[in-house]
Every structure is written in structure tokens, then in C-alpha cells.
Amino acid sequence: MRYFNQMPVSEIPSRARIDAFLAQRRFAMIGVSRNSSDFSRTLLREFLNRGYDVIPVHPHCTAMEDRACAISIAAVSPPVDTVLLMTPPSVTEALVGDCAAVGVKRIWMYRAAGAGAVSPRAVAFCQANGIDVVPGECPMMFLLGTAWFHRLHGFVRRISGTYPG
């Protein structure tokens, strides 16, 4: 298992891509768990508390955090052009094609430790199809005023030279 601090510098996403994603106030979040204590739900709540209009996407759930769930990216109405993926890499590979089919322009493939949602094939697909991709990272590290451990995580990444610049 490879962790962030072992990520080659060439794979570290640019801060400009991260900021462009976070500037989008409406996006879909695919792979949110039905388990309310899962980190994906914590992240969903954080975005909602910050005023983002996040549409959870889950094929087997009708609502999360008092938000209606879409069963697929194609079912999000009105459509979104930005997506946060919190899925296993094999699922990510299928989803990037679905995202491209509905006109998604930005995809963030979540990663905290290990592969997260990142798949080299999915990243290559996004790049080949003009989709701006953030291949890895945890959004909590880039949101202002998050809990101390997210800020500590960012600090460690800065001193290790693996923080996006």
C-alpha cells in the first residue's frame, strides 16, 4: 500500500486544480456510504455545512443527510459538471466514462491513504477526454478552518515536500 508521502512528485495534483474544484459550489459526490459514521458522510456533512450544494449519488439509497440521492450521475438533475469520487479504483474506472457521457468537466478522485479512488487508467481517461482531474488528496486538507488533524496532515505534507503547489 502506498501512502501520500510516497507519491511521486509527478502525481501530486496542482493547487490550482484543487482550488478550481473547490470553487464549484454545486457538485455530485459518488460513493458516499449509507453508514452515517463513515468518513465519506463526514465529508458530505462538512461540504453541506459550508454551503455547498452537494448531490449524493448512491444506487441503493434515496436520501442522505436530508438530501435526495440520485441513483447515478446520469440521474442528477439538473446535471452537474463537477464530481467527487469516493469509490474503489475499479469502480472509478467505470464511473469516469459515465461522467464523460454527461459532460462532467472536473473530477476529484479522493485519496487519504492507499489508492483511495485513484486509478491510473481512470486518470489517463480523464486526461484524454479533457476532464480536469485531481488524482488523490483529501478535500478536508484544503478547506479553511477544518479540524486540527486535517491541518496537521497538510503541515506534514508541506514539510515532506508532497503538498500540492
Indicate which CATH number applies to the domain containing 136: 3.40.50.720
Task: Give which of 91, 90, 103, 104 is closest to 134, Cα–Cα.
Answer: 104
What does the pLDDT look like over 39-81, one tens digit per residue? 899 999 999 999 999 999 999 999 999 999 999 999 999 999 9
In a domain, 99, yes or no: yes
In a domain, 91, yes or no: yes
Q: Which residues pair with 55 in a beta bridge?
A: 28
Q: How many independent structural domains does the chain possess? A: 1
Rounded Cα gap, residues 141 and 44, in angstroms: 14
| Structural domain range at position 21 | 11-159
User: Quick one: CA torsion of 51, 60, 62, 82, rounded to 10 degrees?
Assistant: 30
In a domain, 2, yes or no: no
In a domain, 92, yes or no: yes
Count the residues in the chain.
Answer: 165
For residue 100, CA distances in Å to 77, 80, 110, 151 come to 16, 11, 18, 33
pTM, whole model, 2 decimals? 0.85
In a domain, 5, yes or no: no
In a domain, 98, yes or no: yes
What does the pLDDT look like over 145-161, one tens digit per residue? 776 566 666 666 667 76
